[in-house]
Chain A
Amino acid sequence: MPEKNASEKFDLSIDLAGLKLKNPLITASGTCGNGKELDNYFDINKLGAFTLKGITVSPRKGNKSPRIAETPSGIINSIGLENPGIDQFIKKTIPEIAEYRLPFFCNISGYSEAEFLELAEKLCGRKEIAGVEVNLSCPNIEGGGLAFGTDPKTVYSITKKVRKIYDKLLIVKLTPNITDITEIAEAAESGGADCVSMINTISAMKIDIDKQKPLLGSLTGGLSGPAIRPAAVKMVYDTFKKINIPIIGIGGIRNGRDVIEFMLAGASAAGIGTINMIEADAALRIIGEIKDYLKKHNIKRLSSLIGKAHI
């Protein structure tokens, strides 16, 4: 039945600043390990792209336990960037991901400008890595301890310097813990970012009322999951009006309809995070649900929806 087949052909591909993804689903850093853990549950090659667990210059043990608290439709985490450090990452993780056939993004975090540059330099020219995602949510130790991502000038400066060193896809991940996220997005664009990913987790805490103490070992953490989705959608919507580079929408996505919502708000691609922790192979279901939506609305090309909710 050629007619039926033709009507079920949908183009889910996305152009992310020149990098073509077969579909818009990208794992969000820190919720999906480094590939092989999720690959036990489904063929990760079916994802649009994969963002690896955040890496710092030096190895980090992470925060005190408990590191996770459940809240209504969400979780607060304070993992504290536990990772083996860039050198071990290059030695061990990069050869492991080489066997897969999809773009990998490396999420990098620094505690000073110099650290961001060192990370970018070490990843430059690595054919296994399609891009870096600059995580600006760490405290700027030399700059008074506030997160890098809260000051447009700092964001511009780091982005510009990383841009000079790093020639492949440069993503800047935006923190929502700021008055106006669009200013930061504009700073990243001016600095030469290829795209922005948003949002990172929302600063939050939970208090154990029986112990009468904060529940998390590090007292506070970052909220993710369906609870933050409406806030994230609004920030993507606002940011889309201000910048011309693509947006990777992240925040509580758990089904195909959520992806569509982010795309209508202005996202070109969708980061899936917390859902991976509950349903390891959620991406496959979500891809199916996106197709169902396109079929229902008789839309051939998914990318035609980007920003369509803007009046």
Chain B
Amino acid sequence: MFEILKNKEVGPDIFYLVLKCDELSEQPKPGQFFNVKISRKLSTDPLLRRPFSVFDFDEDQNILELVYRKVGRGTEILSKYKAGEKLDVIGPLGNPFSTEKRSGLIHLVGGGMGIVPLHYLARTLEKGEKKVFLGAENSDELEFFTKRFKKMNVEIHRAAMTEKMEIKGSVLVLWMNYLDQEKPLFVYTCGPEKMLSAVEKECLKSSIQGQLSIERRMGCGIGVCLSCSCETTEGNKRSCVDGPVFTLGEVVLNA
């Protein structure tokens, strides 16, 4: 059982959950996720675990940071947990981002809660020039993320749909403005599937390599139920164990 150290609202319906981990089978890698049982011991509400990707991990103290948005019954119940309580958590699970050393400009493009795994990724990537593009509905949703990205050596660009930040509109438009002027060596992206599809299209057009992290409704998270199957160039794959990270061009996305 993982002990909750912190579970507090850091933006509109956005919660920051800090957990003291039990012994882990391995250290989590960026892009991996943990599957959290939200129901208390004998309860069946909600029945399934909820997958959350790693926002950050402190390997010295074994402290795991997750960020989630309160969107439904499961996350509503989770948001009520208090520091000191314990959660049944399994992980790390899933196929991580590749973090091999690359000498060149890296773009990270995140939309909404898709920003979460990019944070741990940015922190893990070796030194080198990195630009992160963050998008959300409004600036309040980006406040916590911005504060955390500012602690690292990355250039931050932000877009909000309902107010002017660097631009008013989609992070995709903002990112493409930069793509007109420079060609990154590698692009990492996570967010709504439509956004992923557009990022992928641009990258493939300009022969830029990259990876995306996909979110499909999961059942088990361990590869047994095939709920999260996605169509790829090599047949169906499970987003929980073969993903959630895939190479750009590999998955048939719902645009």
Residues in A lying within 8 Å of B, measured CB to CB:
30-33, 37-38, 40-41, 53, 61-62, 65-70, 72-75, 77, 79, 82, 225-226, 254, 274, 276-280
Q: Across the interface, do A32 and B224 meet the contact criterion of CB distance under 8 Å? A: yes
Partner of A82, one of B73, B216, B219, B236: B236
Q: Across the interface, do A82 and B229 meet the contact criterion of CB distance under 8 Å? A: yes
Q: Across the interface, do A278 and B47 meet the contact criterion of CB distance under 8 Å? A: yes
Within 8 A of A (CB), among B4-61: 37, 44-49
Complex Cα spacing A211 to B33, Å: 28
Complex Cα spacing A61 to B231, Å: 8
Q: Across the interface, do A67 and B222 meet the contact criterion of CB distance under 8 Å? A: no
Q: Across the interface, do A67 and B231 meet the contact criterion of CB distance under 8 Å? A: no
* CB closest residue in chain A, given B227: A68
Q: Across the interface, do A61 and B47 meet the contact criterion of CB distance under 8 Å? A: no
* CB closest residue in chain B, given A224: B47
Complex Cα spacing A246 to B1, Å: 39
Q: Across the interface, do A67 and B236 meet the contact criterion of CB distance under 8 Å? A: no
* CB closest residue in chain A, given B241: A37
Q: Across the interface, do B224 and A276 meet the contact criterion of CB distance under 8 Å? A: yes
Q: Given A75-B219, A77-B219, A82-B236, do A37 and B224 touch, yes or no (CB 8 Å)?
A: yes
Q: Rank and list the top 6 A-B pairs by shortest CB-CB distance, nearest first.
A: A277-B220, A68-B227, A33-B224, A73-B44, A66-B217, A37-B223
Q: Across the interface, do B217 and A277 meet the contact criterion of CB distance under 8 Å? A: no
* Interchain residue pairs with CB less than 8 A apart (28): A37-B223, A37-B224, A38-B222, A61-B231, A65-B216, A65-B228, A65-B229, A66-B217, A66-B227, A68-B217, A72-B44, A72-B45, A73-B47, A75-B48, A77-B225, A79-B229, A82-B229, A225-B44, A226-B47, A276-B220, A277-B48, A277-B222, A277-B225, A278-B37, A278-B47, A278-B220, A280-B90, A280-B224
Q: Across the interface, do A67 and B217 meet the contact criterion of CB distance under 8 Å? A: yes
Whole-angstrom distance between the Cβ of B237 and the nearest chain A Cβ:
11
Q: Across the interface, do B219 and A277 meet the contact criterion of CB distance under 8 Å? A: yes
* CB closest residue in chain B, given A280: B222
Instruction: Find chain A residues with CB under 8 A from B217 CB.
Output: 65-69
Give the one of B45, B225, B228, B229 with max A CB within 10 A: B225
Instruction: Find chain A residues with CB under 8 A from B236 CB.
Output: 61-62, 82
Q: Is B172 an interface residue (CB 8 A)?
A: no
Q: Across the interface, do B227 and A67 meet the contact criterion of CB distance under 8 Å? A: yes
Partner of A67, one of B37, B44, B229: B229
Instruction: Find chain A residues with CB under 8 A from B222 CB.
Output: 37-38, 40-41, 277, 280
Q: Across the interface, do A278 and B48 meet the contact criterion of CB distance under 8 Å? A: yes
* CB closest residue in chain A, given B35: A278
Complex Cα spacing A278 to B89, Å: 11
Complex Cα spacing A126 to B71, Å: 49
Complex Cα spacing A79 to B217, Å: 12
Q: Is B230 an interface residue (CB 8 A)?
A: yes
Q: Across the interface, do A73 and B225 meet the contact criterion of CB distance under 8 Å? A: no
Instruction: Find chain B residues with CB under 8 A from A225 CB.
Output: 44, 47
Instruction: Find chain A residues with CB under 8 A from B47 CB.
Output: 70, 73-75, 225-226, 274, 278
Other contacts beyond A38-B224, A70-B47, A226-B47: 9, CB < 8 A: A37-B224, A65-B228, A67-B229, A68-B227, A69-B217, A70-B48, A73-B47, A277-B222, A280-B222
